[in-house]
Amino acid sequence: MTLVAFLRAKPGLGDELGRRLLALVDPARAEPGNVNYDLHRSNTDDDVWMLYENWRSQADLDAHFALPYMKAFVETIAEVLDGEMDLRHFSMKSKFLPAKR
């Protein structure tokens, strides 16, 4: 299960949105169902951020959103978010290839 989330900060709050998003990375990566959880910032608009997440299953993703730190994030994100989060769900169709190390 893949989730791609696009978020736009209110004008001038791009760094604050990024700080809040970055605080999610380590806890999410530590969850048992997480495959990867990567945060990106737009190269052309400092107020636009993207999360690229892969989870073993929909149940793992649902469990992620039920955790207290995620609930707290969702409850307070409107303070810095311009509009709504754009959440897009995908299912992998190619064969999984582990990262080269």
Going residue by residue through the chain, which has 101 residues, state the pLDDT in tens, using 9 for 90 and above.
999 999 999 999 999 999 999 999 999 999 999 999 999 999 999 999 999 999 999 999 999 999 999 999 999 999 999 999 999 999 988 887 777 76
CA–CA separation, 81 vs 28, rounded Å?
20
- Tell me the CATH number for domain 2-90: 3.30.70.100
**Residue 34: how many other CB atoms lie within 10 Å:** 17
Report how far Cα 90 is from the mean position of its chain's Cα atoms: 14
**Global pTM?**
0.90
Domain boundaries, the chain: 2-90
Contact 39, 21 (CB under 8 A): yes
